[in-house]
Structure 1
């Protein structure tokens, strides 16, 4: 975010932040994976995206943000359900409106693990200036040759013509059996008003210096970088 994105110098380094997830207190089953507390097996699939959350809008006042590195994806290949270069939820619910049959458009954007891994691996090898664009959900001409290998023109035309950053979210979903551990996490940002919660307390003990608290009054976008 902001000048902080200069830290993405080498995306092939397993410790670089590549993915993120926004949580609220009703998503504690994700945090419980980290702490080792038993979580409910009937929880639904979870979605993650390349780059950091889209900040404006909305300003992230009371959210927990997890920054994840590349090992999170590669070590959860067995639980991968599907990926897309576009925020599919925004298409399904009409916030993004491609000039194409919606169901067919979603099929064209769908990636299995092999396709999503190949796509992202090629994108991560682009110059740092392109990577910063990718992680900020912005189009870049250097992406086009990579995208053309994996998608038909309706997807590319939509992504390059749409101004909404959700058209460049690069999301993927994992079934509820996926693994999340300390080594997958670079940082986790937690509103200081949540520190009363037992799961959060346990998380602080497990992750230690990786937990960064912030004042939700001023928002995650004003945290110390």
Structure 2
């Protein structure tokens, strides 16, 4: 299991923290992450980078954990997700409940974990959803056509930390690799910064 974040290069606070551990204590500087791979269809901005985190990243930031959700809260609040009779607050769970759900999903078969990380819900994960949420919500998450309906996300307040051992991989457009900021990030996470051709988007990062 792992979590990830799509990052555009105007996310200065996040990039500074990634490059040198610069600590932001202002709670208004919230950041949002999702479990598994970022959504690739439709493609996102060609100039984006992708950061993959080990699960220790969540555990070590318990004190900054604001909420977890099985659904993309931003998409729900903006009306892009057709989940009727639910408000964003209905879907937000605390650290301990989110950790429990993750632990249960981590125990399913490898194939089903991989599907979950690609935002597909298999029978075993469906059972976990039904044991932790209302049946109608579990049905919606599994069967809705919009992948944002199963984009498990979590939000961290601004004081969260990124340690060297939290990061699994960083995928950056090759056009940015020689920038001062990217050099600092590459120095900090040696061997874990990988480049891709932005012409083909970050969805091509694992090809070739």
Residue 108 of structure 1: CA displacement?
A: 2.8
Residue 153 of structure 1 aligns with which residue? 135
Distance of 2:133 and 2:90 partners within structure 1? 7
CA contact (8 A) 1:194 1:200 kept: yes
Q: CA RMSD in A?
A: 1.7
Residue 31 of structure 1: CA displacement?
A: 2.5
**Deviations, residues 34-55 of structure 1 (Å, cap 9, x unaligned):** 3326465445200000011100
Are 1:32 and 2:16 counterparts? yes
**Deviations, residues 78-103 of structure 1 (Å, cap 9, x unaligned):** 11000100111111001101132x42
User: Which 10-residue stretch deviates more, 189-198 or 81-90?
Assistant: 189-198
Distance of 2:201 and 2:43 partners within structure 1? 10
Are 1:212 and 2:197 counterparts? no
Are 1:144 and 2:126 counterparts? yes
Matches within 5 A, 1:1-225: 11=1, 18-36=2-20, 38=22, 41-42=25-26, 44-100=29-85, 102-103=86-87, 106-225=88-207
Distance of 1:30 and 1:19 partners within structure 2? 16
**Which sections of structure 1, spanning at least 5 residues, go unmatched?**
1-10, 12-17
Relative to the length of structure 2, the TM-score reads: 0.92
Relative to the length of structure 1, the TM-score reads: 0.85
**3-state SS, counterpart of residue 176 of structure 1:** coil
Runs of 4+ in 1 over 3 A off after TM superposition: 37-43
**Which sections of structure 2, spanning at least 5 residues, go unmatched?**
none
User: Which 10-residue stretch deviates more, 150-159 or 209-218?
Assistant: 150-159
Residue 28 of structure 1: CA displacement?
A: 2.8
Residue 224 of structure 1: CA displacement?
A: 4.2
Residue 196 of structure 1: CA displacement?
A: 4.2
